[in-house]
Amino acid sequence: MSTDPHLYETPSPSTETIAISESYDSGFEEIDDDVDMHSIADSGFNSIDAVTVASSIYDYQYENGRRFHSYRSGTYAQPDDNEEQDRLNLYHHVWLLMLRGNLFCAPINPSTCKTVLDLGTGTGIWAMDFAGHFENASVLGVDLSPIQPLYTPPNVTFLVDDVEEYPWSWIGWDWGFEGGEFDYIHCRNLAGSIRDWEAFITEIWNHTAPGGWVEFGESDCWLYSEDDSYSRAPNLKRYMECLIEATNISGASLDIWRQIEPALRKLGFVDIQKQKLKVPWSPWPKDPHYKEIGKYSKITNESGLASYGVARFKRFLNMPDDEFQELVSNARAELVDKSAHLLTDSWKIWARKPEVPDYGRFERMSIDSRR
């Protein structure tokens, strides 16, 4: 393991993650929901309301054989079952490959970065990796789903809540983040989750400490090829068109990365930087770095075709289940064709809140009057 906390040596793939693709073709898995209470229940926050919320977060919802979150049911249109958790964990590995081992791009360091927030933390894998390198930082991960591990590094706390409910009343609870300001706020793969990015980034501004950094990692939803080989994947093309339409109808569009930089600038963030990362959808490239990315991204895409669409195509496009299954199966077959040189672009965008912001530290930005 590197001694530089900015660097993270990518773990070698475990047989457990590789098994995603093998088990996937057998169809939707049986899900064992016999989980213990943790998260909010163990946090020390013990009002009657919190206890009620704590028990109900495990009343998972089921649709088309997949399991969905219960707290604020219907808010997020992707499953949170074992299969999706495996996909998220493997996609973390894809991000590490893309960033050549780095967990983040912002110039943060352990001597000044003490409080960290990971919004929409998913399985918490990024938060836990980060906490391992920044042992003196306290890391808070927030998600609608209680899918984080029971045993975590001591400097990580997970919380089930809705990051789109403003103001974030959960900051200031008994989490040790009483100041409500974070030295670093991280968000990754939240396209398709957040409805109003300007409101979301405004609340991020409100909770970024002066001089603190914010960072986003999002992927463009448009699939392309640099030659004309995208034409060899007509089912993937149709799938992506349906997905973009469904997410637009849902209000939580996938097509959002371009909104981030203007919103940061409008709020007063400075030192805004971005990095484009090409992501092959299968191991078609000759270059070993991109081939490696493609090897893992293909597995996540095989699984992601189902998880991104399973609820959205039904809820927002009224697509019958058999039509959806056929489209996914045909699209998945096209991923195998290495003559289709499919790519998407992912983006890292990071920015700093000024030490002396014009507004923000003592006077909160109002989400309703931000325009």
Ligand X SMILES: C[S@@+](CC[C@H](N)C(=O)[O-])C[C@H]1O[C@@H](n2cnc3c(N)ncnc32)[C@H](O)[C@@H]1O
Please give the residue ranges that form the binding site for ligand X (CB under 6 A): 69, 75-76, 88, 92, 120-122, 126, 142-145, 162-164, 188-190, 193
Q: Report which secondary-structure segment, H or E, holds 325.
A: helix 321-335
Q: How far is CA 256 from CA 223, 251, 274, 332, in A?
A: 14, 11, 15, 25
Question: Distance of alpha carbon 38 from its chain centroid, rounded?
Answer: 22
Residue closer to ligand X by CB (options 69, 352) is 69
Q: CB 339 → ligand X: shortest distance, Å?
A: 29
Residue closer to ligand X by CB (options 160, 340) is 160
Residue closer to ligand X by CB (options 92, 348) is 92
167 preceded by cis ω (within 30°)?
Answer: yes
Residue closer to ligand X by CB (options 189, 282) is 189
Residue closer to ligand X by CB (options 143, 215) is 143
Q: CB neighbours of 77 closer than 8 A, spacing ≥ 6? A: 192, 250, 252, 311, 312, 315
Q: CB 68 → ligand X: shortest distance, Å?
A: 9
Sequence-separated contacts (24+) of 237-246 with Cβ below 8 Å: 238/327, 238/331, 239/305, 239/309, 239/327, 239/328, 239/331, 242/309, 242/313, 242/317, 242/319, 242/327, 243/308, 243/309, 243/312, 243/313, 245/316, 245/317, 246/309, 246/312, 246/313, 246/315, 246/316, 246/317
Structure tokens, 240: 């992506």
Residue closer to ligand X by CB (options 220, 357) is 220
Residue closer to ligand X by CB (options 145, 247) is 145
Residue closer to ligand X by CB (options 33, 326) is 33
Structure tokens, 73: 């049911």
Which one, of 280, 314, 319, 286, lies nearest residue 300 by Cα?
A: 280
Residue nearest to ligand X (CB): 122
Which one, of 119, 122, 123, lies nearest residue 139 by Cα?
A: 119
Distance CA 197, CA 194 (A): 6
Q: CB 74 → ligand X: shortest distance, Å?
A: 11
Rg, C-alpha atoms of the chain: 20
Q: CB neighbours of 92 closer than 8 A, spacing ≥ 6? A: 125, 126, 129
Q: CB 130 → ligand X: shortest distance, Å?
A: 12
What is the residue whose two structure tokens read 């093998």?
Answer: 22
Residue closer to ligand X by CB (options 102, 229) is 102
Main-chain phi, psi angles of 75, to 5 degrees: -65, -45
Q: Which residues are registered as beta bridge partners of 263?
A: none
CA dihedral for 104, 193, 361, 139, sign (positive or negative): negative
Residue closer to ligand X by CB (options 92, 341) is 92
Q: CB 356 → ligand X: shortest distance, Å?
A: 31
